[in-house]
Structure 1
Amino acid sequence: MKHEGKYHFSHEHIMIPIELDEDDEVKCNACEQLLTEPFIGCPPCQFFLHENCFHVPRSMDHPSHPSHPLTLDPTPPHPYTCNACGSHGKAFGFGCGAHCEFHLHLRCAILPETFSYDDEHPHGLELVFEPPSFKNLGTSDDSQLVKIPCYICNENQVSWLYYCEACEYVAHLKCLLSKYEEMESYVVSDYSSDQEDDDYDDIIQNLRI
């Protein structure tokens, strides 16, 4: 069967569909996660992308940084620190071109705005971009607000969280998703107003943090 090649702005050569051999462990150059089929690549350069990573939009408006649009950069500054999870990144990332020093891993930029996993919490969790606070009992002083620690690691790290307001349940996204590594399929929120590609609804179905 003849496969039609594709070009991606991040690579100079044509890319073709590729099948994994048994026991192969190859990482995607965009998200740094292990490749699962379908994926495409340039074998001579050892450059490979998930099919879904291939279709990630080159820019997006993200609610965590409403002042400027974010642009997909295949060669971001190294090392950069992801504003979502606090980890370093060296692969594809979304960044602010307005010199805000704001960077997101590709996989963090497209996390769903809501998350449900009954084994962890009975209610749906909402993605929030800073730790929620509550007021110390017995005081009316707003300066005495206390950050709610992560339910999993019991720390107050500055990173994005999944949050249930009714229960004051907080989980760092990195803690939650690493705790359940078998979760490999997320529904992607549409942050882009320009859906020119019919495949956009399928972006990043199989990423793990």
Structure 2
Amino acid sequence: MQSSIIRVIGVNEAGEAAKIEHLSHQHCLVLADKMEEENDRKCDGCMLPISNIFYYCSECPFFLHKTCAELPRFKQHWFHHSNATLNFDSFKWCNFCRRSCSGFFYEIGGYLEICIRCAKVADIIECERHQHFLFFDFKYREKCNGCGIWCRRGAFRCGKCRFALDFGCLTLPHSALHKIDEHKLKLTYHDDKEQSYCDICEQYRDPSFWYYSCSIYDTSAHPECVLGQFPFLKDGSIMPSYFYRNHHHHDLKFFRKVEGFPECSPCGKFCQEEILKCETPTCNYIVHCKYKCRWDN
């Protein structure tokens, strides 16, 4: 199965594929076991921070965890009886974690799209956040204990107590960087305080739901405040037309950082957050990624 995705060019003394060609990228990739410097580089397959052995491109900023590079092109997924096919589109909406994502996706049954973070989750899991095994219950329609959101497509449920998690919480990064703290913030599962607030938005934070924290500076924050609205999108990802309701006729690209505070074409306000930008040379169209600006015009 892998032969259609990877071509090995060279091996190291341990017999590992040290240099490869990968179907998702135009340049050769080289094996490495650590970054040369501390940064927040993400894997272009799963869009999670580089945390273990990985491949990198020496010609452009492209990285793949070794496990992501070695994913099979076709596989059986427990959620559906038909084959799942791996693809490398620039942008997809994951039907499982309900997030917009760049990176690799499996297409299941011709109609379900699942990001590889969700695709790696088994149907029965052992979770460090809970003392019992969790199994996926297709009929579960109650709230997730991690975020409090209603589970619309089932959830991972405990058979011994009233505890359940959705795909969105299960696939959150274990740690994340944010300018509010010089240390990495760790995903935390319970707060003993009666009243809790987010140090980023300064709004109330329910202490029973998951959050990110720093024990050194006593920082705590909502996951969405730490990660942002689009944590798994890569700069330059091309947005499909349904993402912005066809109100612009050219392709728009996603950018996380904005230079020069340009004006949003629909609302006229300055852009300080994520934007969609038209890459056509003769067009200066820019729009906030916020839902209102993308749809209400």
Displacement after TM superposition at 1:60 (Å) = 0.9
Q: 1:114 aligns with which of 107, 124, 127?
A: 124
Query: Which whole-Å deviations, capped at 9, do the CAs of 1:157-209 have from their partners, x for residues lacking one?
Result: 324521013324222232355496568xxxxxxxxxxxxxxxxxxxxxxxxx9
Does residue 47 of structure 1 match 2:62? yes
Q: Which residue of 1 aligns with 2:26?
A: 12
Mapped contact 2:142–2:151 kept (Cα < 8 A): no
CA distance in 2, matches of 1:177, 1:106: 10
Greater than 4 Å deviation, 4+ residue runs: 179-183
CA contact (8 A) 2:44 2:102 kept: no
Cα offsets for 1:52-71 (capped at 9, x unmatched): 111111111112121x2111
Greater RCO (CA < 8 Å, at least 6 residues apart)? 1
Report how many residues are paired: 162
* Counterpart Cα distance in 2 of 1:162 and 1:179: 18
Partner of residue 95, structure 1? 107
Q: Which has the higher strand share?
A: 2
Amino acid at match of 1:69: N
Match of 1:172 among 157, 166, 173: 166
State how far apart, in whole Å, the 1-side matches of 2:167 and 2:139 are. Answer: 12
Q: Structure 2: state its 5+ residue gaps.
A: 1-10, 13-17, 176-185, 188-231, 233-297
Flag the structure with larger Rg: 2
Q: Which residue of 2 aligns with 1:152?
A: 146
Equivalent AA in structure 2 for residue 167 of structure 1: C
Q: Distance in 2 between matches of 1:39 and 1:94?
A: 21
Using the TM superposition, give the Cα deviation of residue 42 of structure 1 relative to its aligned residue in structure 2, in angstroms.
Answer: 1.3
Residues 101/9 of structure 1: CA separation in 2 closer, same or farther (3 Å cut) = same
Q: Which amino acid aligns with 1:113?
A: D
Tell whether the 8 Å contact from 2:74 to 2:83 is kept in structure 1 after alignment. Answer: yes
1:70-123 superposed Cα distances (whole Å, 9 cap, x missing partner): 1110126x3x22121111122111114x6x3310001111112222235x4332
- The 3-state SS of whatever aligns with 2:20 is coil
Aligned to 1:72: 86
Q: Which of residues 84, 87, 111 is equivalent to 2:96?
A: 84
Change (3 A) 1:92 1:178: closer
Q: Which runs of 5+ in 1 are unaligned?
A: 133-146, 184-208
- C-alpha distance 6-161 of structure 1, shift in aligned 2 (>3 A): same
On the 8 A contact 1:73/1:92 being kept in 2, the answer is yes
Distance 2:73 2:51 in 1: 22
Q: TM-score, normalised by structure 1?
A: 0.66
The answer (yes or no) to whether the contact 1:84–1:160 under 8 Å persists in 2 is no
The equivalent residue for 1:204 is none
Superposition TM-score, scaled by structure 2 size: 0.48
Q: Which residue number corresponds to residue 105 of structure 1?
A: 115
Measured at CA, do residues 46 and 164 of structure 1 come closer, stay the same or move farther in structure 2, by a change above 3 Å? same
Displacement of 1:124: 0.9
Distance 2:52 2:160 in 1: 40
Q: After TM superposition, give the deviation of residue 43 of structure 1 in Å.
A: 2.0
The CA deviation at 1:36 is 2.5
Q: Aligned partners of 2:116, 2:123: CA distance in 1, in Å?
A: 15
> Cα 1:177–1:46, aligned 2, differ >3 Å: closer, same or farther?
closer
Aligned to 1:126: 135
Percent sequence identity over aligned pairs: 23
Question: 3-state DSSP class of the match of 1:95?
Answer: strand
Structure 1 residue 44: deviation in Å? Answer: 0.8
CA distance 1:108–1:177, shift in 2 (3 Å): closer
